[in-house]
Amino acid sequence: MKKAEEKTARKTAERAAPRQTAVRRAAARKPESHLAMVRRARRINRELAEVYSYAHPELDFENPFQLLVATVLSAQTTDLRVNQTTPALFAAYPTPEDMAAADPEKLEELLRPTGFFRAKARSVLGLSAALRDRFGGEVPGTMKDLVTLPGVGRKTANVVLGNAFGVPGLTVDTHFGRLVRRFGWTEQTDPDKVEKEIAEIFPKSEWTMLSHRLIFHGRRVCHSRKPACGACPVAPLCPAYGEGETDPDKARKLLKYEMGGKPGQRLKPPADYPGEPAPPLGAR
Ligand code: SF4
- Of 2, 155, 247, 256, catalytic: 155
Amino acid at 209: M
Q: What is the pTM of this model?
A: 0.89
**222 marked ligand binding residue:** yes
Q: Would the pLDDT of 166 be above 50?
A: yes
Q: Number of helices (H) and strands (E), helices first, in the chain?
A: 14, 0
The neighbour count for residue 132, using CB atoms within 10 Å, is 18
CA of 166 to the centre of ligand 1 (A): 30
The Cα angle at residue 60 between residues 224 and 91, in degrees rounded to 5: 135
Is 131 within 8 Å of 66 (Cβ atoms)?
A: no
CA–centroid distance, residue 263 to ligand 1 (Å):
22
Return the best residue to mutate from 44, 222, 225 for the ligand 1 pocket (most ligand atoms within 8 A of CB).
222
- Alpha-carbon distance 59 to 278, whole Å? 11
Q: What is the pLDDT of residues 7-35, one digit of tens each?
A: 555 555 555 544 445 555 555 557 899 99
pLDDT, residue 1, reads: 46
Contact in structure between 116 and 32 (CB atoms under 8 Å) = no
Alpha-carbon distance of 185 to 38, in angstroms, equals 8
CA dist 179 and 121 (Å) reads 32
Among 185, 238, 256, which residue has the most ligand 1 atoms within 8 Å of its CB, making it the best to mutate?
238
- Rounded to whole angstroms, the Cα distance separating 167 from 249 reads 41
List 173, 247, 250, 268, catalytic entry: 173
Query: Cβ(7)–Cβ(274) under 8 Å?
Result: yes
Asked if residues 76 and 91 have their Cβ atoms less than 8 Å apart, the reply is no
How much is the pLDDT for 132? Answer: 98
Other Cβ atoms closer than 10 A to 122: 15
For the chain, the average pLDDT equals 92
Answer yes or no: is the C-beta of 259 below 6 A from any ligand 1 atom. no
Task: With a cut of 70, say whether residue 3 has pLDDT above it.
Answer: no
Question: Binning pLDDT at 50, 70 and 90, where does residue 164 land?
Answer: very high
Q: Can you tell me the distance from the alpha carbon of 2 to that of 261, in angstroms, rounded to the nearest whole number?
A: 8
CA of 192 to the centre of ligand 1 (A): 23
For 85-139, write each residue's pLDDT tens digit: 999 999 999 999 999 999 999 999 999 999 999 999 999 999 999 999 999 999 9
- The residue among 186, 155, 157, 184 whose CA lies nearest residue 171 is 155
The pLDDT of residue 26 is 53
Per-residue pLDDT at 23: 54
Would the CB of 185 count as within 6 Å of ligand 1? no
Residues sharing a CB contact under 8 Å with residue 171, sequence separation 6 or more, in sequence order: 155, 158, 159, 162, 208, 211, 215
Residue 169 has pLDDT above 70, yes or no: yes
For the chain, give the percent of residues with pLDDT over 70. Answer: 89
The verdict on whether 173 is a catalytic residue reads: yes
> Which residue in 62, 95, 72, 56 sits closest to 146, CA to CA?
72
Q: Whose CA is nearest to atom 2 of ligand 1?
A: 229
Closest ligand 1 atom, residue 227 Cα: 3
CA dihedral (45, 195, 173, 251) positive or negative: positive
Hey, what domains does the chain have and what are their CATH numbers?
3-56+170-260 (1.10.1670.10), 64-164 (1.10.340.30)
Q: Are residues 13 and 248 in contact, defined by beta-carbon separation less than 8 angstroms?
A: yes
Helix (H, G, I), strand (E, B) or coil at 263: strand
